[in-house]
Structure 1
Amino acid sequence: MECRFRVNGQLKLQDLSIIWVKKEEHTKEVYKLHKGKENFQTQHSNFRGRVKLLKDKLELGQSVLQVTNIKLTDAGTYRCLIGYEGADYKTITLQVKAPYRNITKRTVTAQTTAGHNKWELTCQSKGYPKAEVIWKNGEHQDLSDKANTIYETGTDQLYSVTSTLKTNTSINETFHCIFWNKELKENTSAILIIPGYTVASQRINSRRYIGTTVAVFAVFGSLLLFMLWVKKVGKDHGNETCTNNVAVTVTKLLTVEEEVDIRELSLEDGKLKYIRIEVT
């Protein structure tokens, strides 16, 4: 915000006093420069740390007040009082605008009926003042009466506007959500396109799932067959060992039989009192 005053020759800063106030039911002091020195003792808490006088403009006879971190409550009427080789004042009206610049959009499919998906299209944005949300399809038909729009206000006094449109449509259909700010005569829009990859994506995911399942079963099957094979080999090896031991013992006995007929042997025979076959 700016107000001007006359400077003849070089500015005498020690003779300059400037006061900025906001006119409300109770006047709020915004900034004070007294006899060339800043004074923040009587500054209202709403403006503390947010205002700055651009001192390099004073030589040009300009009192420029810079306000940062602007709020909606900053809007209103301000008065600039100048004391320098006389006195003067100026009234300024400050308007604060908060356009609906950024629109967050979301497209969600709910269910499928007769080859058509039921979709929920959502647009959300913040701004001030309250905006109307207009919905149109690709043929520019107005669908606003079918939408549900919710308004909420936060501590920053901005309106959080969320509008949802439910529709039955086919893929690749185009929709527009438009935030119309009547007081600012400004609109911001976003385009939502019904995606055409939903079914294909589901099929791909199903194939991946089936492929993964088959692979897992194949691995487990291979491990099971390998374990059975190892067990069988171990068992056959044990049987083979036992058979070989028995065969060796019997062979030795048969060697004896070749020399002496077992039927002719008696228990009194000192050479062979008994026959024992040991299996190890």
Structure 2
Amino acid sequence: MLCIKLSFFIFLDFHTIIAFFVVKAPNLTYTARYGDTVQMICNFPVPKEDDLNKLTVSWQHFPPQHDEARQVTMFTNGRESVLSQEKTYNGRASLLIQELKNGLAILQIGEVNPTDAGTYLCVLQLGGSDYKEITLNVQASYRNIETSSHISEDNEISLMCESLGFPKAEVYWKKNEVNLSLPVNTSHTQTPNGLYKITSTIKGIDMNQRYNCVFWNKELNEETEASLKHSGLLTHASNYNRYPQRNDSGHHTQPLQTAIITTIIGFIVVFLVVIILFLKRRQCFKCFKKKGDRSSAL
């Protein structure tokens, strides 16, 4: 009976210690774009300067549909250890050590890719211990759409669109802003860094018509599209609800960027003209002055 009571009090005392050391997170979900840098934050009671050597910080990653944790970074004995770090995070993930004295355990991941998505566990120990779970979502727009065309031996024309992004997008085709019901073959593969490579082909089209392939990324609520004919010359990806203007020939234009470049070139030309006129005027003035001096001498 005495042992049971003693165990009970030890249990209470242990959880009382832990209760004073609470880890919090200002955000439980982060969303990052492919190639960007993301910082995920855990807060803990501000330690004394001498306690930093006793502090242990561990960031672990649980990818979707994986039960095993991946060690992202570890801080122990006053320094960050990279020996236990998974190779996929080498040179990309680190702990902002200078922020630990402020009670902030900040994990920074650079060059984010889809394989970084999932659940992150922020575990801290200093007298007591506590943790927080944080979710990271990764998105990649299907901005760069490659196109090509092909004509078979029986003169059947096919058009192809291909792009990389994340998550997996749906692809549909349209002509004159009307969705097509022609047979479409769409397939996908995944690259080592987790991006989806989606290829879509449409057959039996009219050589004289222009067609659009549209990539619909549901998670980003974003559409990107490419316009092409059999020659495959017209290719441009545009953001959903932000389509570039077109000129009479049908090619996409960027009026703002063109106007800025034209203005800069105009200023440069005017500046050069002014300099040339100034130098010529100065040279003529010197010639006139020399002639005047000679006349006076005579």
Q: Fold-level match, TM-score > 0.5? A: yes
The 5-angstrom pairing of residues 259-274 of structure 1 reads: none
Match of 2:6 in 1: none
1:16 aligns with 2:55: yes
Partner of residue 159 from structure 2, selected from 96, 100, 121: 121
Q: Secondary structure at the match of 2:224?
A: strand
Identity in percent: 38
Name which one, 1 or 2, has greater alpha-carbon Rg.
1
Letter in 1 for 2:46: V
Q: Unpaired segments of 5 or more residues in structure 1?
A: 198-280
Using a 3 Å threshold, how does the CA distance of structure 1 residues 105 and 84 change in structure 2: closer, same or farther? same
Matched, 1:150 2:184: no
Alignment of 1:36-115 (within 5 A): 36-84=78-126, 86-108=128-150
Q: In the alignment, what sits opposite 1:136?
A: 174
Residue type of the alignment partner of 1:123: C
Give the Å deviation of 1:52: 0.9
- The structural deviation recorded for 1:143 is 1.4
Q: What's 1:201 paired with?
A: none
The answer to whether structure 1 residue 5 and structure 2 residue 5 are counterparts is no
Aligned counterpart for 1:176 among listed residues 192, 212, 216? 212
Q: Distance in 2 between matches of 1:15 and 1:167?
A: 70
Aligned-pair RMSD on alpha carbons?
Answer: 3.2
Q: Which has the higher contact order (CA 8 A, sep 6+)?
A: 2
Count matched residues: 191
Distance in 2 (alpha carbons) for counterparts of 1:44 and 1:196:
43
Q: Secondary structure at the match of 1:95?
A: strand
TM-score, with structure 1 as normaliser? 0.57
**Which structure 2 residue ranges, 5 or more long, are not aligned?**
1-39, 234-298
Corresponding residue number in structure 2 for 1:185: 221
Distance 1:26 1:169, change over 3 A: closer
User: 1:161: which partner in 2?
Assistant: 198
Q: Please name the residue that 1:264 is paired with.
A: none
In structure 1, what is the Cα distance between the partners aligned to 2:117 and 2:205?
44
Letter in 1 for 2:43: R
The Cα shift of 1:58 comes to 2.7
State how far apart, in whole Å, the 1-side matches of 2:181 and 2:195 are. Answer: 23
CA distance in 1, matches of 2:103, 2:167: 36
Q: Provide the rounded CA distance (Å) in 2 between the counterparts of 1:43 and 1:112.
A: 57
Contact 2:159-2:230 within 8 A present in 1 as well = no
Aligned CA distance change for structure 1 residues 43 and 111 (closer, same or farther; 3 Å)? closer
Cα distance in 2 for residues equivalent to 1:50 and 1:196: 38
- Measured at CA, do residues 170 and 75 of structure 1 come closer, stay the same or move farther in structure 2, by a change above 3 Å? closer
Poorly superposed stretches of 4+, deviation over 6 Å: 8-11
- The aligned amino acid for 1:43 is Q
1:178: Cα distance to partner?
0.6
**Equivalent-residue separation in structure 2 for 1:11 and 1:176 (angstroms):** 64
